[in-house]
Amino acid sequence: MGKKKEEKDKAVEEEVAASEDEEVMPAVSIEDELRAQNTDLLDKLQRSLAEFDNFRKRTAKEKGEMFDLGAMSVAGEFLPVIDNFERALSAASDKEDNMYKGLMMIYKQLEEALEKVGFKPIECIGQKFDPNLHNAVAHEKIEGEEDNIIIGELLKGYKYKDKVIRPSMVKVAN
């Protein structure tokens, strides 16, 4: 019986040793495989984060562009109203009249509201003519005046941020 037990123990030890050898070999390859998977997953995660960041930036830019387009469209509708307001104010005979003063206050408030959202009138009187900002509709020869200097504004031009919404219609000295 002792011999059988010894043979059985020896067989178990050999089996354990053989299984340990088998486990050691695959354990190394499993670690390498896990490292490779980890590297692959990390790469995929970094790419996904970069794509998401690009998407977020592109979406924010498109959103800003859409807002700008809408603002320019609305301002384009208001410009004739502002022009008529200016004509009415310039045609008023009594500048001390309360009605005139009230209309002037409303006009100033409208100008301030437009400036708050990024609209500004194009300054032109006394400036050098710039075809990107001005539309010359009249030329006048004036002694002592430099050529291509704007001497009159017939219709006020406006910019939204750096974009010209409507160029100023001007009279230029030649």
| pTM summary value | 0.65
Token output for 42: 């990390």
- The answer to whether the beta carbons of residues 78 and 107 sit under 8 Å apart is no
Low-confidence ranges of the chain (pLDDT < 70): 1-4, 11-12, 15-28
Distances (CA, A) of 42 to 17, 28, 54, 70, 122: 37, 21, 18, 42, 54
Q: Which amino acid is at 171?
A: K
Q: What pLDDT sits at residue 142?
A: 83
> Number of H helices and number of E strands within the chain?
2, 6
Q: What pLDDT sits at residue 50?
A: 96
Q: What pLDDT sits at residue 171?
A: 93
Q: What pLDDT sits at residue 140?
A: 87
- Of 136, 157, 158, the closest CA to residue 147 belongs to 136
Q: What pLDDT sits at residue 93?
A: 86
Mind listing the pLDDT tens digit for each residue in 5-33?
A: 777 777 667 765 655 555 445 556 898 99
- The answer to whether the beta carbons of residues 110 and 88 sit under 8 Å apart is no
CB atoms closer than 10 angstroms to residue 170: 26
Q: What pLDDT sits at residue 130?
A: 92
Where b means 16+ CB within 10 Å and e means fewer, 104-139 reads eeeeeeeeeebeeeebebbebeeeebeeebbebeee
Q: What pLDDT sits at residue 121?
A: 92
Q: What pLDDT sits at residue 169?
A: 94
